[in-house]
Amino acid sequence: MPTVADVCAYLEEIAPLALAADWDNVGLLLGDPAAEVKKVMTCLTLTPDVAEEAVAKGVDLVVTHHPIFFKPVQRVTAETWEGAVILKLAAAGCAVYSVHTAWDDAGGGINDMLSAVIPLDNIKPIRPNTDGVGSGRCGRLKTSMTLNDVAARFRGALGPGAPEPYVICESGDTQTASVVGVACGSAIGFLEDAIAVGCDTFVTGEAKLHEALAARQAGVGLILLGHFASESFAMLELRNKVAGRFTDLSPAGVFTARESDPLSGMTSA
């Protein structure tokens, strides 16, 4: 059977930790690298429900997108939900690994998967780095599409549980997309960069009111997929990759059955 270190090495192979943002908290966050792994679970966020599920299913390693902690902590107690999760998993001998922005920006990672949903040419990072990879993706559409067409394509690709995307634009239903930028999750901070590289359309997970207004006033179409929907599908794909590499896992990788979009009750405009 593989060890925690074996699975971590594979995860770093496909999502190098060097690609992560400098503010991020990625890699092995809890557990013994030498421990044996028989069962792996992937999830978007390690909530109390997901931790309970992992313990009940005898999971040895949870691979989460979002880190348990973003900032240094001085104590871990059951008085906070994060502390309670850590204590529950530690008592069960379950390790935790976070891929977060390393998986967002990796070749074949979340932003590459999103940019493959629509037919784009000459795909490049929105924010290039010295390694030639970078954050976000942008490219020119091979065929003309309205913003609603683009939104519908993403809605279909993200699965039956994905919400209807919000489409925010200046010119209504007829506004077309030509150069499209994509960045998963809460990457609305990439909007100015996307505009600077010539994007007339930007696809991300979520935005605040004034950020949406800024896009509309700039004449840039903004498509909001929902933070959860823009990333959770990729954790299922990551489960498939781990299961394909470590075929003796029992069963061959688990994707959480307990996690759901906390905003699933909202409706789009």
95-98 and 61-64: which strand pairing? parallel
Tens digit of pLDDT at every position of the chain (269 positions): 899 999 999 999 999 999 999 999 999 999 999 999 999 999 999 999 999 999 999 999 999 999 998 888 889 999 999 999 999 999 999 999 999 999 999 999 999 999 999 989 999 999 998 777 899 999 999 988 999 999 999 999 998 778 899 999 987 778 999 999 999 999 999 999 999 999 999 999 999 999 999 999 999 999 999 999 999 999 999 999 999 999 988 776 789 988 888 877 544 33
Closest CA to 70 of 26, 28, 19, 136: 26
For the beta sheet containing 27-30, the strands, ordered from the edge strand earlier in sequence to the opposite edge, are 27-30, 95-98, 61-64, 40-43, 254-255
DSSP 119: -
Token pair belonging to 15: 């999502």
At residue 70, the pLDDT reads 85
Alpha-carbon distance of 208 to 193, in angstroms, equals 17
Predicted structure pTM score: 0.93
Phi, psi of 165 (to 5 degrees): -65, 150
